[in-house]
Copies of this chain bind each other. A is one copy, B any other.
């Protein structure tokens, strides 16, 4: 519950307008999650100041910044000392953990084709957890050795939503999509040889999946996939 003196309130309202950023106070009520900071193109100081303000505006919510560098984190820590940094997911987070997490029946399975897809998968996993969802990580089960996938099919089928993270030809999304009844969210990654064109091939492949019921997000957008998965979970 938000509690504050009038004085604080005024200060905070003023701060919602940073000059370089218009914070979105009502986003949790409107769309179910607080605004996350997408770091590329912002200075470390801008990131830190936005984070501090979001922390004040939403005192009970988890606050996060994606695609953050170690340098960004150094600056953020100066203004938001409790912030933590996940070096695989490249996420800076301020964790409050006050809302009770969802139960096992709402597990999100995050499946990767290869080891190199893990940073994107971890962006998804960390986001999903910050949004209150239990996560089951199932990594490196690409179709070149399809038995690895079948070994873990039960875990994938037990999930309420499945996120498939894959680069190269991203065939894993289609194979999983044909084997489960839950909604599948596909995240193409930029991993691959030349003609992957920085993830374009994986993206197109997932969009053209012969398995129906797959929703695709942008290349390497683990954050977006987790947001969608979490919204689905909260419908359940």
Interface set of A (CB-CB < 8 Å, partner B): 19-22, 24, 26-27, 30-33, 35-36, 38, 40-42, 46, 50, 113-119, 139-148, 160-161, 167-171, 173-175, 177-183, 185, 188, 190-221, 223-224, 227-228, 230-236
Contact = CB atoms under 8 A, between A and B. Distances in A.
B30 A143 contact: no
How many copies of the chain does the oligomer comprise? 8
Contact of A32 (B50, B171, B181): B181
Contacts of A36: 212
18 contacts: A21-B139, A26-B145, A27-B144, A41-B167, A143-B171, A143-B174, A169-B170, A171-B174, A182-B231, A183-B235, A194-B199, A195-B200, A196-B218, A204-B204, A207-B217, A212-B228, A215-B216, A215-B217
B183 A228 contact: yes
Given A169-B210, A219-B194, A31 B180 contact: yes
